[in-house]
Amino acid sequence: MGVTVVGSVGLDSVETPYGKAELELGGAAVYFSLSASFFTDVNLIGVVGEDFPEIFINILQSREINLEGLQRLPGRTFRWRGRYHKDMNNRDTLDTQLNVFENFKPIISATASLEPYLFLANIHPALQLDVLKHTYPNFIGMDTMNLWINTTPDLLQEVLSRVNMLFINDSEAKELSGENNIKKASLSILASGPEALIVKKGEHGCILFLDDGDHFALPAFLLEDVIDPTGAGDSFAGGVMGYVAYRDRYDVQTLKEALVVGTVMASFACESFGPNKLINISMADIRDRCEKFIQQTQLESYPLLPENDK
């Protein structure tokens, strides 16, 4: 079963304590697609300008990503420039040029519209709603950001009420709900629509919240060298949605397994500038890291407590 993703394709310029990259392949839909492509067929819906290098098209094609929905329009590609500091959990956006992305109108082929899995990456909620009108998925994941939380809250609520799972940063979950405690924030968001919510906490891992009030938490995969965290959240979502589509199941147990896959894919994304590491791994690397992560987070035995109070 395949997944369709709608979102940004861009050229990123990034500076981190490890160095910098100029006009690197980037965008939420790119990281999502590359990550998900290890597990399932991917249709990428997006737009680039005349300046988008052919080599980046080749990279996406090398992972057999369906690019029928990737329009090339006159003008320049979406560009983002950012800087990470010693604390890699925070970044400064230095410049954002929407360019051809400003008037992006998704074109969705019959194949893409009929995929049972859909991911609405971080784009204007009006566009997300428009995509929902032209697709027929069984299971929908979405992302958003503080910009839409603040400027188009009503539209965002409408999208939320129609999706199965929201991927969101911890700070954005707090903003969206107005709650400062992450559990309260999540319960409040779940009350507004989705059945599941994944709170992304960067180097501190992730928490899956379910609308029955339960949750499941995992640490992140610990890296000695975080070269560039750009795209880690989208690679995480790509791993989760890609695994769910591959298994063609979205029960709670499958979602928990998918968190492991998402965590591992996000860790690879952090190990190079741009998606260079992501495109140079194999299923064997993914399997090895999943096993390592399980050893590093899963107990072999549980505490044996005293029978009674002392």
Residues that bind its own copies (CB under 8 A): 17, 37-40, 63-64, 86, 180-184, 201, 204-205, 207, 214-219, 222-226, 243, 246-247, 253, 256-258, 260-261, 282-283, 286-287, 290, 294, 296-310
3-state secondary structure of 238: helix
Closer by beta carbon to its own copies, 116 or else 219: 219
Closest separation in Å from C-beta 107 to its own copies: 25
CA distance linking residue 12 with residue 23, whole number of Å: 5
CA distance linking residue 241 with residue 139, whole number of Å: 9
Closer by beta carbon to its own copies, 37 or else 164: 37
Closest separation in Å from C-beta 219 to its own copies: 4
Give 147: exposed, middle or buried? Use CB within 10 Å, 0-12, 13-18, 19+.
Answer: exposed
Quick one: which of 252, 263, 249 has its CA closest to 291?
Answer: 263
CA distance linking residue 111 with residue 1, whole number of Å: 11
Query: Beta strand pairing status for 196-200 and 70-72?
Result: unpaired
Closest separation in Å from C-beta 120 to its own copies: 23
CB 259 within 8 Å of CB 216 = yes
CA distance linking residue 219 with residue 214, whole number of Å: 17
Closest separation in Å from C-beta 166 to its own copies: 18
CA distance linking residue 150 with residue 148, whole number of Å: 5
Closest separation in Å from C-beta 238 to its own copies: 13
Closer by beta carbon to its own copies, 123 or else 270: 270
- The encoded tokens of residue 166 equal 């929201």
Chain Cα centroid distance, residue 212: 24
**Phi–psi pair at 84, nearest 5 degrees:** -105, 145
Closest separation in Å from C-beta 88 to its own copies: 9
Closer by beta carbon to its own copies, 93 or else 282: 282
Closest separation in Å from C-beta 222 to its own copies: 5
Instruction: Give me the DSSP letters along 204-217.
Output: G-EEEEETTS-EEE
- For 178: left if phi > 0, alpha if psi spans -120 to 50, otherwise beta; the answer is left
Closest separation in Å from C-beta 278 to its own copies: 13
CA distance linking residue 66 with residue 13, whole number of Å: 26
Residue showing tokens 């319960």? 187
